[in-house]
Amino acid sequence: METDPKQWNALTPEEEYVIAKKGTERAFTGEYWNNKGRGRCICRRCNAPLYNSSDKFDSGCGWPSFDDEIPGAVIRKPDNTLGMRRVEILCANCEGHLGHVFEGERMTPKNTRHCVNSLSIRFVAE
């Protein structure tokens, strides 16, 4: 995990749009939306560990979905853009945009869905 912004990973224009400008990739197009591998997802910008594959589930939404994060890995902030009331999730280390978290959907026993852009994460197999 790299905490010095000068040492963060170089990003493609698409990654920069999502991570730094809070964009969203199109559903069902990201490389990890259907990934079933065992391992861990880290922040694409700073390499901070974010999610374990054991917390990933198929929500049918077209983006990687997790019902929990690695403790301390994610920051939650209110997001009222686009006329919606949502909760944005950010990497706690570099504050890169990951996506949004939704609660109360009853998709898992934890009743939480982190809807994450594939462009914000990198999968590291076990």
- Residues acting as catalytic residues: 115
What are 78's strand-pairing partners? 87
Q: Beta 49-52 vs 56-57: how paired, if at all?
A: unpaired
Cβ-Cβ contacts under 8 Å for 126 (sequence gap 6 or more): 38, 39, 40, 53
Type of residue numbered 40: R
Q: What torsion, rounded to 10 degrees, do the Cα atoms 30, 122, 119, 28 define?
A: 10
Cα gap 71→50, rounded to integer Å: 8
User: Nearest Cα to 120, choosing from 93, 84, 80?
Assistant: 93
